[in-house]
Structures are given as structure tokens and as C-alpha cells.
Structure 1
């Protein structure tokens, strides 16, 4: 899942981004409203976490402009304006998909982001299957022949991407962009390391195949 955090408070933005990355989300940060709009036009984010009080262009205006797009990101307003009238205005007049006042509980933020990411026109099935592999997309739990696997959030995210591809190759760069974020050097060995650990935990090294020049894919 790819998330953009539009927040001008640098410490809060970095804290939220770090926490979400530990939940296997790819996270970028925008410090101004115009930067947030520009990044959303260039990148297909699943969820935008949007502060209403942003410099250069307000979060309210960003929300209005993005709502004019054919396929805008889901917008979660995370703001100090937490009165009932503020929340109603954000949801009804501005068109936000969700609204969470500051201060907030991080676990609730994660739950709301995951709920928003499921609001797509054609929902993916809750369970993904590939051979003897099963992945519960909601609980982020994987199993082989019914036996649960102990995977890290990043390993789970990579497996999820491969299973959604259904045996088609997924490039190294696509994995970096989806599971990590734009700041990770695509030349890094972190993908290969994660794939290696995943192969070991799946118990079948040949289940994930490396296709030279194409990427990685699951094999029957």
C-alpha cells in the first residue's frame, strides 16, 4: 500500500511515516499543500493523510482539487480542527473519506488507513490462494497447507504483491515502490534479502522464481 503524509510539522510527519513503514506501507511525505497536490498527480497513492492547515495551499483546497480527479486517493484528514462542525464540514463539504482529530492513537490511524484502502470499486477477495499458499488480506496472515507462517510485515507485503500477480513477474523496482518508498535506492539488496528470507520460510526455495530481466514470480 502506498501512502502520502501531507504534514508541515516535520517531527510528526517523520514519526507517522516511520510507524507506517513498520506496518509494511510505502510512505512519502509532503510539507506543503501544493507539494501534496503535485505528488498525487504524479503518483497513484492509495491513501492521502492530509493536514488541513498546510502552508502555500491549505489542506482544504488540496482536498477540493483532488476530488476533481477521475481516480483520487482516499483522503484521511488528520488535523487539530476536531470539533463536530469541523468533522462534518470535512466529510460533507470538502469530500474527505475519513476524519481523525489530533491528538490521535496510532493504532486507530493504521486501522482507518487499512479500512480506506479496502474501499475500491471491485474489492479484492479477502483470501488469496496460490497452490498451497493462502494469504488473508485483511488480517495479513499467510499459511502453507493450513500451517501459519511467521512473516515480518515486509515479507508479508512482498508475498502479497507476488500472490496478487498470480504467477506473473513483478519487477524489482515495482516491489521497491510498493513495499518501501521513493527514497529507497532501487539498487539496494534489501529486496533480494527479503525474497531470500521469504523463500526459507515458505519451505520451498523454488516457489519464488527469479526471472532475469523481468523480476520475481510465484511458480506452481
Structure 2
């Protein structure tokens, strides 16, 4: 089934290459706009590029012109939710489901959640837009089908749900399990840093250290009685 899909999409590898190059070029700027990492932005572009490549690029095999000449838009309206038995084998329904799972998984890595919800809503509209374009452009030689919309939406929901659950479980594990060092590490300040945190006093504000008198009448009263302010010799 996968070989048949690749044969029906001769532009699969060029489209994948363009998606990879586009993801590498805009991963940093897109990551900043989405509030995510460059790797997440790269996979977002790659997943969208894969969807466009497999659904909207024309079939350029032999007798393309003759096929376009007699192509007529025909929209199949019958649909059903794919059953587990259908998803266990490689067929059109399972491939359409798998096509949107990476997109749902990437959306769960977007922060804040409000932005992720907006992207999820846009991803839910995407299957309807794809089938509408296929119906409006018969020269693509794509057959619009309501079953494809149902399969794509199921794949999107599976990707969103599975990776959201994994994200919540990872947070719970970090909160409940102690770290490898035996709990939270206490934050200590090293001696050089602690020394930097103490501001140095000006020279005229420092108190002199009293020295014991060496003989009778040789003691200096100003040294025995510390007082603030500048000393006469410092003025």
C-alpha cells in the first residue's frame, strides 16, 4: 500500500526535500514566534509539508494530460470512523490517520496553551480545506472524499491526546519522584561570590583595630575609643 502511494505521488521526495529545507531555514524565527524550540518549529514545518505533498501535489505519471482532459470532480460523501481493525493494516484509512498524527504531536509542544489551541483549531480545518481544493482543481487528479476528512481528524485527535497525556505524566514524574541527588539541592553561595555580595566600605568609614599600649602614657585615646567619621589624619 505504501509503495502504491509513493507511485501515485511522484513528487513525494522533491516535496519532502523542500519541506526539510524550509524547516531548517525558518526554524529559529518560527520557534520564537510560537514560543517553542527550533526543533519543534522544524517538525511543524516538516509535518505540514508532508501533508501538502501527499494530498495536494498532482499525479505526474504517464498519460497525465489525457487523465486531466477527462477528469471530473466527484466528491464521495460516505464516511465512518475508522475501526481498530482497519487501523491495524496499511490501507487508505490508516495512512490518512497516520498523516495527521505528527501534526497533533507537534502542536502539544507549543506554549502557551492558548496558542496551541489556536493551532489545533487551524489543524482541524485543514482537512476540509484540502478536500475543497481537490474538488475545485480536478487537474490535480485527486479524489475528494469525506472519509479522508474523518480519518485526518481522527489522526489529529490521536496525536493531540497521546502526547498531551505523555506531557502531563512527565510533569507528574518530575514532581513526585526525588532527584538523583536525594531531593532538591540546596542553593549555596560560594565563598568568592558571597564576598562579592558584601559591599566594601570606604576607607574613612572603617574602624581601626585597637593596639595594646607598649608603655606608660604611650596609649592613644583615639585608638582605644573607636568612633565613626573621618580621622584627623585622613582629612
Give the shorter-chain TM-score range: under 0.3
Q: Which structure ranks higher in relative contact order (CA pairs < 8 Å, sequence separation ≥ 6)?
A: 2
Q: TM-score, normalised on structure 2?
A: 0.23
Which structure's residues are more often strand, by fraction? 1
